[in-house]
């Protein structure tokens, strides 16, 4: 009887299930319509906000995405648009995402003088990798972290790094002997990237990885390449802007796998240091055993309330600095060496200056860095032509008015084309020509300080720019002391904006030993 009653009761529910399906379908439809309405309103508002800024025609669905062919010409196309639309113009990524792209110093100083946060669109895609470190954090968290980390870049901390950078550079240059003997062309970025990783691990984390000599492919380097490519792919692929779609896609799977490799690498570095600190107990004791480094400062930093950084904050800052400190510098050094290979007359002047400074030494020292002004000008000119970070973007939280009276309201995204500013013909005469004399003091004084911003500017500028410049000087000096760099006319870089500036076909040169008798 009970069984029959249960069956009848259960059976009574069956007719209601079809109505549940209908209700679910209606709810889904309402959700889709609601989301679409919000997106359409967002699109309408973006059109209204960008009305004062004319720009290149955009496809109604794809925006300007189809204009970018990923063929090495995309950045030059943005420069060309900038010549037609002075100061700034809108760029659409899909039907709903719009950035105001600025490419003039008079405009860029307005945005870079502020502490406006990085945009919540492009940088959102990188957060699952590097967390809320200095690159993407905002507000009080960014201000607190910036204050706690600044002592890590004091010149007293940076001084001993120059010797370590020299050691890493010499390891790389020793590997190049086979190319010098055969005269064959070789790809720079892979070698330089391993060297800058080796350097950052030694300098910032006192960690000897032997990544340049261990043979095979370095898993961390490969994970950084993979993450960089996948984040850029996600940015360009509109459906991947949805977290759920990206998560279940094959690319999402690869992203999570690469993230795991990168995070494990970071966790291992931090774990080993914590163990060492337990043994050493006091920061004063650290100084007697080895150089105080970035990781020591991270782990020992305290604010006015004697509060340190959480484990999650430490991981985020380590991941941020590990990426920012090696990938950007690797891009910069690779293009600097390429530029010097293409301009032997400037290369010779640099070498003469370096030989006089080093006086037979095989390593750079802190005091040597200030004795190579012509080499420094060549480095800056290469950073102008090939900025390691070709663009940055901010999210405006309050109305922003530019010098010509045009205004954008709160909620807009502003992209700064560093590549566009550095190639702007209204600022730079013959902008595509390599001319280090642009950076003579008398020429610099005639330009806006925002005409050259490879490390950004203002309160959110690159905290590690002195570290990067020191490494670039040391590596270039030791390379030119040992080798003559020769252009390979069969390999012209096809530059593309990834998380850092890269080349589709690599960056190739030839080398031969320096003949001191010539």
Give dist(CA 212, CA 232) in Å, integer: 27
What letter does residue 134 receive in the DSSP assignment? Answer: T
Q: What are the b/e assignments for 373-401, b being 16+ CB within 10 Å? A: ebbbbbbbbbbbbbbbbbbbbbbbeeebe
What letter does residue 110 receive in the DSSP assignment? Answer: H
Report CA dihedral (153, 155, 161, 163) to the nearest 10 degrees.
Answer: 170
Q: What are the b/e assignments for 279-300, b being 16+ CB within 10 Å? A: ebeeeeebeeeebbbbbbbbbb
- Residue corresponding to tokens 């079809």: 18
28 is in an annotated binding site: no
Please state the length of the chain: 518
The answer for residues whose C-beta is within 8 angstroms of residue 44's C-beta and 6 or more apart is none
- Residue corresponding to tokens 């899909």: 94
464: β partners? none
From the number of C-beta atoms within 10 Å of its C-beta (0-12, 13-18, 19+), residue 492 rates as: middle
DSSP characters over 53-99: S-----BTTTBTGGG--SSS-HHHHHHHHHHHS-SEEEEEETTTEEE
Query: Taking phi first (over 0 means left), then psi (-120 to 50 degrees means alpha), and beta for anything else, what does residue 131 get?
Result: left
Q: What are phi and psi of 484, to 5 degrees?
A: -95, 130
**Helices within 290-310 (DSSP H only):** 294-300
Give dist(CA 144, CA 147) in Å, integer: 5
Q: Roughly what angle, to the nearest 10 degrees, separates helices 161-175 and 188-205?
A: 150
The residue among 322, 437, 321 whose CA lies nearest residue 384 is: 437
**Other CB atoms within 10 A of residue 355 CB:** 15
Q: Tokens in use for 278?
A: 């337990």
**Other CB atoms within 10 A of residue 88 CB:** 29
Give dist(CA 251, CA 264) in Å, integer: 20
Known binding residues for heme are 462
Known binding residues are 462
């Amino acid at each position: 009887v009970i069984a029959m009653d249960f069956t009848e009761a259960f059976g009574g529910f069956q007719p209601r299930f079809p109505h549940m399906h209908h209700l679910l379908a209606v709810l889904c439809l309402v959700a889709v319509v609601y989301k679409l309405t919000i997106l359409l309103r967002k699109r309408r508002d973006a059109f209204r906000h960008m009305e004062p800024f004319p720009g290149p025609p955009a496809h109604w669905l794809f925006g300007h995405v189809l204009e970018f062919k990923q063929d090495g010409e995309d950045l030059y196309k943005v420069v060309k648009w900038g010549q037609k639309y002075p100061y700034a113009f809108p760029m659409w990524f899909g039907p709903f995402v719009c950035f105001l792209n600025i490419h003039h110093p008079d405009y860029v100083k307005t945005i870079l003088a502020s502490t406006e946060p990085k945009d919540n669109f492009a940088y959102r895609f990188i957060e699952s990798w590097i967390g809320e470190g200095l690159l993407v954090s905002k507000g009080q968290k960014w201000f607190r972290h910036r204050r706690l980390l600044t002592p890590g870049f004091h010149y007293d901390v940076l001084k001993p790094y120059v010797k370590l950078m020299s050691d890493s550079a010499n390891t790389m240059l020793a590997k190049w002997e086979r190319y010098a003997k055969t005269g064959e062309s070789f790809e720079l970025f892979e070698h330089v990237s391993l060297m800058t990783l080796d350097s950052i691990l030694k300098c910032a984390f006192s960690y000897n990885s032997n990544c340049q000599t261990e043979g095979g492919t370095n898993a961390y380097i490969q994970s950084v390449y993979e993450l960089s490519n996948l984040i850029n792919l996600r940015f360009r692929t509109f459906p991947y802007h949805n977290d759920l779609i990206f998560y279940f896609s094959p690319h999402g799977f690869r992203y999570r796998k690469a993230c795991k490799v990168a995070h494990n690498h970071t966790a291992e570095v931090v774990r080993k240091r914590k163990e060492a600190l337990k043994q050493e107990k006091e920061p004063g004791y650290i100084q007697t055993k080895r150089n105080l480094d970035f990781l020591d400062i991270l782990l020992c930093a305290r604010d006015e309330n004697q509060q340190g950084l959480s484990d999650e904050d430490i991981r985020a800052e380590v991941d941020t600095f590990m990426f920012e400190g090696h990938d950007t510098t690797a891009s910069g050094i690779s293009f600097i060496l390429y530029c010097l290979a293409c301009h032997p007359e400037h290369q010779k002047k640099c070498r003469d200056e370096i030989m006089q400074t080093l006086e037979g030494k095989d390593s750079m020292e802190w005091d040597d860095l200030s004795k190579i002004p012509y080499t420094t000008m060549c480095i800056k000119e290469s950073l102008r032509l090939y900025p390691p970070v070709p663009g940055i973007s901010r999210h405006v939280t309050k109305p922003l008015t530019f010098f010509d009276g045009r205004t954008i309201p709160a909620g807009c995204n502003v992209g700064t084309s560093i590549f566009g500013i550095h190639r702007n013909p209204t600022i730079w005469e013959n902008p595509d020509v390599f001319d280090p004399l642009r950076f003579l003091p008398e020429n610099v004084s005639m330009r806006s300080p925002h005409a050259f911003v490879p490390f950004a500017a203002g309160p959110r500028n690159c905290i590690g720019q002195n570290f990067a410049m020191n490494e670039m000087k040391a590596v270039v000096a030791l390379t030119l002391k040992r080798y003559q760099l020769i252009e390979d006319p069969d390999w012209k870089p096809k530059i593309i904006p990834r998380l850092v500036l890269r080349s589709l076909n690599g960056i190739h040169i030839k080398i031969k030993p320096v003949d001191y008798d010539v």
